[in-house]
């Protein structure tokens, strides 16, 4: 998915300047790169959360009296 964003960035930033964008479209590369970076961050957070929830669900429960002693 990130490769698609970066490929779109390269293609869209090559467009020549026009009346609406007199300086060209070169800055679009940064916008699409930002979206790719946010996507990586979100997917990493989701992966980490899913691993943590699986780990907590699979952990054995200890309810011995020794655990509650101070």
Write the DSSP string, the chain: -HHHHHHHHHHHHTSPP-SS-TT-STTHHHHHHHHHHHHHHHHHHHHHHHHHHHHHHHSPP---GGGT--
pTM above 0.75, yes or no: no
Ranges of each domain in the chain? 2-14+25-58
What pLDDT score was predicted for residue 2?
Answer: 84
Question: pLDDT per residue over 16-59, tens digit each?
Answer: 999 999 999 999 999 999 999 999 999 999 999 999 888 888 76
- Banded pLDDT at 70 (limits 50, 70, 90): low
CA distances for 45 relative to 4, 18, 29, 40, 48, angstroms: 21, 40, 25, 9, 5
């Amino acid at each position: 998915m990130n490769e698609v964003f970066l490929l779109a960035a390269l293609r869209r930033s090559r467009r020549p300047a026009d009346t609406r964008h007199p300086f060209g479209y070169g800055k679009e590369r940064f916008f699409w790169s930002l979206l790719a970076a946010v996507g990586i961050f979100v997917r990493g957070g989701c992966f980490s959360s899913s691993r943590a929830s699986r780990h907590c669900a699979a952990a054995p429960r200890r309810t011995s009296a020794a655990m509650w002693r101070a």
